[in-house]
Amino acid sequence: MPVYAYKGLSTEGRAVAGVVDAESPRSARLKLRRTGVFPTDLAEDRTPAGRRRTSFAVGRAGERVPTQELAAVTRQLATLVGAGLPLVEALAALADQTEREHLRRAIVQIRERVTEGRALADALGEHPRLFSPLYVNMVRAGEASGALDVVLERLADYTENQARLLGKVRAALTYPAVMLVLGGAILFFLVSYVVPKVTRIFQETQQQLPRLTLLLIALSSFAARWWWLILLALGGAVLGGRAYAHSAAGRERVDRWVLQVPYVGRLVQKFALARFARTLSTLLASGIGLLPALDIVRNIVDNRVIAHAIENARDAIREGQSIAPPLRESGVFPPLVVHMVAVGERSGQLEEMLGKAADAYDNEVENAVGSLTTILEPLMIVFMGLVVLFIVLAILMPIFELNRVVR
């Protein structure tokens, strides 16, 4: 269906602009007038985004919305709806003040669907790359309960918390990752280009070289001659590892192995548990039942082992059990989480107890990441120092031997 870009006036005389899909310009004008917009300028949108009407094109991989921006948009919508503004007008106001083009188009399309009589959750569900199943289901629960503004506020809080935690983890790991890449690149350059020029002098003297120097010469000769093969092998290993990790069997083995890695496994587990507790608490507080909430949480947990444990808990609840025993039997959930869940079930305050568990694990993740970076930085410095010491000794030892012979 063609998409038309328009400019016009609202019934209040305010200038508005946006896009509308219709069979023809005449249909577009009629559609706009039914929504209270009187178009002054109407033209078919022939840009690539306008030609691709489906919401999948609006949310392509390269057009994802940053989490903080999505949280801000959600909070603005909650404020407008909470102020008593009709949903269609709130979406129109939101589209007018949104600067990111593909997000603005998505909001306009959502407003059109709502104008046609569709539920907001259904309209959001047409844009899966922008709005996750968790987002859509929470909005659906808010519409059903008549507390859409409250649910949107919870969504904004949840999105901001997740973005803040993930941002801290990324910021803490960025420096070690950059050091590792730059250090590896510098060492590769030294071994493949600089060292061969220096060691060639020793080879020309025909003297007996130390084993350390011979090892360095062998490594540098191999790197200088086969550098392309090394890079090809590294690239193939990365691509092969990614393909294996994305396969069904490989993903589960990798996730299980990651949980067993000393220190790193505990960090991954704590991060997944924090996300599990925060998400489940938010869903339950928004009026979503425990079984559908566990279905949603299972799909957003990044670790397959923990996801299977959640799935087993869901099946046990369906058979009439409580949630705490299957979580304890999985061996993945620590006693703290299991105990807080059990207390929450007995007291009828499961979402509050999950929220407290999420706060506790958020703090633990931040502390663990800080400790990890504190350990990684000196380890990387020591490793780089040892490599440099090896190169320096391998070069200096023949010089010392040569000086002794001359004397």
- pLDDT digits over 89-114, tens only? 888 888 878 778 778 888 888 888 88
Phi, psi of 5 (to 5 degrees): -90, 135
H and E: helices and strands count for the chain: 18, 3
pLDDT at 44: 73
| One domain for residues 197 and 59 | no
pLDDT at 3: 67
Domain end marker among 137, 159, 181: 159
Q: What is the CATH number of the domain that holds 323?
A: 1.20.81.30
| One domain for residues 281 and 181 | yes
Which residues are within 8 A (CB) of 345 and not within 5 positions of it... i.e. 6 or more apart?
A: 322, 323, 324
| One domain for residues 109 and 177 | no
| One domain for residues 95 and 168 | no
Domain end marker among 140, 159, 178: 159
| One domain for residues 9 and 123 | yes
Q: What is the pLDDT of residues 242-251, one digit of tens each?
A: 888 778 778 8
Mean pLDDT of the chain: 79
Q: Name which residue leads in pLDDT, 398 or 118.
A: 118
In which band, very low, low, confident or very high, does the pLDDT at 206 lie, cut at 50, 70 and 90?
low
Handedness of CA 73, 79, 85, 87 (dihedral sign): positive
Count of structural domains, the chain: 2
CA atoms lying within 13 Å on the CB side of residue 282: 28
Q: Which residues pair with 16 in a beta bridge?
A: 8
Distances (CA, A) of 55 to 76, 136, 380: 22, 14, 46
Q: What is the mean pLDDT of residues 310-336?
A: 85
Please state, in angstroms and rounded to a whole number, the distance separating the CA atoms of residues 58 and 74: 18
pLDDT at 49: 43
Q: What is the mean pLDDT of residues 21-45?
A: 75
| One domain for residues 180 and 227 | yes
State what percent of residues in the chain have pLDDT above 90: 1
Q: What is the mean pLDDT of residues 291-310?
A: 83
| One domain for residues 193 and 336 | yes
pLDDT at 55: 34
Concatenating the DSSP letter of every residue in 286-343 gives: TT--HHHHHHHHHHH-S-HHHHHHHHHHHHHHHTT--SHHHHHHHSSS-HHHHHHHHH
Long-range CB contacts (within 8 A, 24+) of 351-354 = 351/280, 351/281, 351/282, 351/284, 351/285, 352/281, 354/277, 354/278, 354/280, 354/281, 354/284
Inform me whether the pLDDT recorded for 57 exceeds 70.
no
Q: What is the mean pLDDT of residues 287-303?
A: 82
| One domain for residues 315 and 379 | yes
Inform me whether the pLDDT recorded for 61 exceeds 60.
no
Sheet holding 15-21, edge to edge: 15-21, 3-10, 37-44
Please state, in angstroms and rounded to a whole number, the distance separating the CA atoms of residues 4 and 18: 8
Domain end marker among 101, 134, 159: 159
pTM over 0.75: no
Q: What is the mean pLDDT of residues 264-290?
A: 84
| One domain for residues 176 and 96 | no
| One domain for residues 315 and 371 | yes
Inform me whether the pLDDT recorded for 236 exceeds 80.
yes
With H, G, I as helix, E, B as strand and everything else as coil, classify residue 230. helix
Q: What is the mean pLDDT of residues 301-318?
A: 85
Structural domain range at position 103: 3-159
Which residues are within 8 A (CB) of 307 and not within 5 positions of it... i.e. 6 or more apart?
A: 298, 299, 301
Inform me whether the pLDDT recorded for 59 exceeds 50.
no
pLDDT at 53: 41
| One domain for residues 105 and 73 | yes
| One domain for residues 147 and 271 | no
